[in-house]
Amino acid sequence: MKLIKWNETMRLGVPEVDFEHEELIGVINALGDLLQAGNSPDTIQLLLGKIHAQIEGHFALEEKIMRDRGFVGYEAHKEDHDRLLEQIRDIMTEAKTLDEPTLRDNLAERLNAWFSDHFSTLDRSFHNHS
């Protein structure tokens, strides 16, 4: 089950960043498949941990590029990154107690809203500035 739909408006024109964005969405959608299939909470927790680590690594790449280029919107962009990482940690905690359909719907809603907003605003302004 796709939790996030990739579309070409998410492409920013920076090959390594676009590649990682597509990879992240693929891993998040794999989680949707696990949730839909009713996999064990331990399996779901492991994939959530992988998603968190992968996103954290991706953000480190973006933040390095921003610092290297002297991007003036760095602080706001980093704050948004930190906010998503905190949300994923919250989801990991919630995943221990929520049933799969509720977790799937909650995860899809939160991640879709975050990615759509972040890609179209902060990422777009950062990469247009580059």
| pLDDT tens-digit series, residues 20-44 | 888 988 888 888 787 778 767 778 8
> For 68, what's the count of Cα atoms within 13 Å in the CB-facing half-sphere?
8
- Whether residue 44 contacts residue 95, with contact meaning beta carbons closer than 8 Å, is answered with yes
In this prediction, the residues of the chain whose per-residue pLDDT falls under 70 are 39, 98, 100, 104, 116, 118-130
pLDDT of residue 122: 66
Residue 75: per-residue pLDDT:
93
Tokens linked to 52: 């968190």
The string of pLDDT tens digits covering residues 67-76 is 998 988 899 8
Asked if 84 and 113 count as a contact pair (C-beta separation under 8 A), the reply is no
| pTM reported for the whole predicted model | 0.78
CATH homologous superfamily of 15-129: Hemerythrin-like (1.20.120.50)
Q: What pLDDT shows up at residue 130? A: 52
* Distance separating alpha carbons of residues 88 and 92, to the nearest angstrom: 6
pLDDT of residue 67: 92
Phi then psi for 77, rounded to 5 degrees? -65, -45
3-state per-residue secondary structure call for 78-115: HHHHHHHHHHHHHHHHHCCCCCHHHHHHHHHHHHHHHH
Domain ranges of the chain: 15-129
